[in-house]
Amino acid sequence: MSASIEIDNVTKRYGALTVLEDISLSIGAGEFLVFLGPSGCGKSTLLRMIAGLEDVTAGTISVAGQRVDTLPPGKRGVAMVFQSYALYPHMTVKQNMSFGLENIGMAKGEIESRVLAAAETLEIGHLLDRKPQKLSGGQRQRVAIGRAIVKEPKAFLFDEPLSNLDAALRGRTRLELAQLHHRLGSTMIFVTHDQVEAMTLADRIVIMNERKIEQIGTPMDVYQRPTSKFVASFIGSPAMNFLPVTSWTPGGASLAVTTAGLGRVETGFEVPEGSNPEGATLGIRAEDITVITGDAGIPLTAEVVERLGDRSLVYGVLNDGSKLVVEADGRSLIKAGDRVMVSADPHSFHLFGADGRAYRREAD
């Protein structure tokens, strides 16, 4: 069972403090949508508003075509999984999963059927008679998800559910969530500040910043075509390199951009007539910069080399003092203090105006 969700012009205020402003968003039935952004951007508040745990100051929220922002949480047809598993310590796994259904007076046979089906889906059937203190963190999170599954909701809401797990377990549970979505086909909304979780799980990512939505798109859309400098810096590890633009020369479909570090480069960007390069920034990802042999490239002095096995990241400085991160082969012998030559493909550049918004290429 899955349902579409419509968020129309939603605003949230606490007194004079506005935490979300005029948010509109359509979520498709069966879609896995991720709210991604830094702490304080409003992503968890928006999720809690959908769940009914926070009131809507203005705007409407609808689930499966029915307006729900005026309904209590239990009547909205959604189930929430929290960061803290919120399991009852004195109850067994089976009792934790069935408790909510018992409270609404569901028949025992139906409860039993739903609990067993959810346990099979999550591969926790052998844990049904254990209590939470006898479970690992990953097992507790599965129980929390199972408690949501038995409600057969129209949508699942996940509020940073992997944050309390160690790195290895977080990776495994992330894959299990992706598989669960594939099996259930349910609408899922997932809140995180972790871009790896977002890129792994999402059909689409909603990137939030300062009370608003910055960009909505598939994982590769937001990575390859960021609409703002904020998105470009937030998505990707290491963060995108940014070099201040000193001047540019429009020329038909080609814009010649000059930075102190790279000099003059021809690009395919379009800028409106009369646009001013003051405050503009050229962006380049580390993997789009290549270490080359010979003397034809741009000189870079390595300051730190981070060896990651399959690749190395070279943190260096250009002749003008600008910092640049370059990706090299994992077997690279570059070390701190070495002077290397690098080159960058102009087709991989990103250009941002003084307002932080991205200029588009002619091909985009």
pLDDT surpasses 80 at 361: no
Over the stretch 227-257, which tens digit does the pLDDT of each residue have?
999 999 999 989 999 999 999 887 666 788 8
pLDDT in tens, 143-199: 988 998 998 899 999 998 888 778 787 888 888 889 889 888 899 999 999 998 999
Report the pLDDT value the prediction gives residue 113, as an integer from 0 to 100: 93
**pLDDT in the model for residue 328:** 92
pLDDT in the model for residue 180 = 86
pLDDT value of residue 264: 86
Q: What is the mean pLDDT of residues 212-233?
A: 96
User: Which residue spans of the chain are classified as CATH 2.40.50.140?
Assistant: 240-359
Angle between helices 137-149 and 108-122 (to 10 degrees): 140
Residues 301-341: tens digit of each pLDDT: 999 999 999 999 999 999 889 999 999 998 989 999 999 99
pLDDT given for residue 314 in this prediction:
95
Residue range(s) in the chain whose domain bears CATH number 3.40.50.300 = 5-233
State the amino acid at position 154 in one-letter form.
Answer: K
What tokens were used for 124? 């926790």
Q: At what angle do helices 137-149 and 93-103 cross, to 10 degrees?
A: 20
Q: What is the three-class DSSP state of 195?
A: helix
Query: Do 353 and 280 form a contact (C-beta atoms < 8 A)?
Result: yes
Q: What's the CATH superfamily of 240-359?
A: Nucleic acid-binding proteins (2.40.50.140)
Residues 291 and 256: beta-carbon distance below 8 Å: no
Locate all alpha helices (DSSP H) within the chain, ordered by sequence: 43-51, 93-103, 108-122, 137-149, 167-184, 195-201, 219-224, 229-234
pLDDT of residue 142: 87
DSSP state of 361: B
Contact (CB, 8 A) for 338 and 332 = no
| Beta strands across the sheet bearing 5-14 | 17-27, 5-14, 58-63, 66-67
Name the nearest CA neighbour of 8 among 50, 53, 52.
Answer: 50
Q: What is the pLDDT of residues 74-125, one digit of tens each?
A: 899 999 988 877 889 999 999 999 998 998 889 999 999 999 999 988 889 9
Q: How does pLDDT run across 2-61, given as a tens digit for each residue?
A: 899 999 999 999 999 999 999 999 999 999 999 999 988 999 999 999 999 999 999 999
pLDDT at 267: 84
**The pairing of beta strand 5-14 with beta strand 17-27:** antiparallel
Q: Per the CATH hierarchy, to which homologous superfamily does domain 5-233 belong?
A: P-loop containing nucleotide triphosphate hydrolases (3.40.50.300)
Q: What integer is the mean pLDDT of 126-155? A: 90
- What is the pLDDT confidence band of residue 261, given thresholds at 50, 70 and 90? confident
Alpha-carbon dihedral sign for residues 264, 267, 272, 277:
negative
State the Cα–Cα distance between residues 18 and 27, nearest whole angstrom. 24
Helix (H) or strand (E) holding 259: strand 254-259
- Model pTM above 0.95: no
Distance CA 359, CA 114 (A): 52
